[in-house]
Amino acid sequence: MEKQKITGTNCYNCMYISREAEAVDLEQMNNQGGINPHDQTEMKRAEKADLITLPGGSKVEVINKKFCNHPSIQMYVTIRMCCAYWDNPGVIRPWKEQVIQAQAR
């Protein structure tokens, strides 16, 4: 099976994102196309995760939202967002022991 080529990190190519896209209300978004937390509980989770809206975009280019299933996020995000928990099954972490051992062979 061929792995997906990832050309940047955003919520939509993270392994925690739901597959189901939902309509997004333009009024829910900030001016760069992200969704700001709706209450203090979400704000605390967003701060801990460093959940950001990537610069340079706009809300008019965002056509939907998806739910982030990471246990520490649990809120809707858009393609214009990313956080410290971003991950993907194809990521290479050279500091992991098995990678170092494989390279030594």
Report yes or no on 4 lying in a domain: no
Asked if the structure places residue 6 within a domain, the reply is: no
The count of domains in the chain is: 1
Strand partners, 77: 66
What's the pTM? Answer: 0.84
Q: What is the pLDDT of residue 5?
A: 82
Instruction: Please report how many Cα atoms fall inside a 13 Å half-sphere around the Cα of residue 31, on the Cβ side.
Output: 1
Which residues on adjacent β-strands are paired with residue 17?
A: 68
40 lies in some domain = yes
Q: What are the tens digits of pLDDT across the range 29-56?
A: 999 999 999 999 999 999 999 999 999 9
Instruction: Answer whether residue 93 is part of any domain.
Output: yes
Asked if residue 5 is part of any domain, the answer here is no
Residue 99 placed within a domain: yes
What are the helix (H) ranges across 1-105? Answer: 40-49, 97-104
Pick from 58, 49, 104: nearest CA to 82: 49
User: What average pLDDT does range 81-100 have in this prediction?
Assistant: 85
Determine, yes or no, domain membership for 41. yes
Q: Containing domain of residue 28, as a range?
A: 11-104
Specify if 65 maps to a domain: yes
Give pLDDT, residue 2. 64
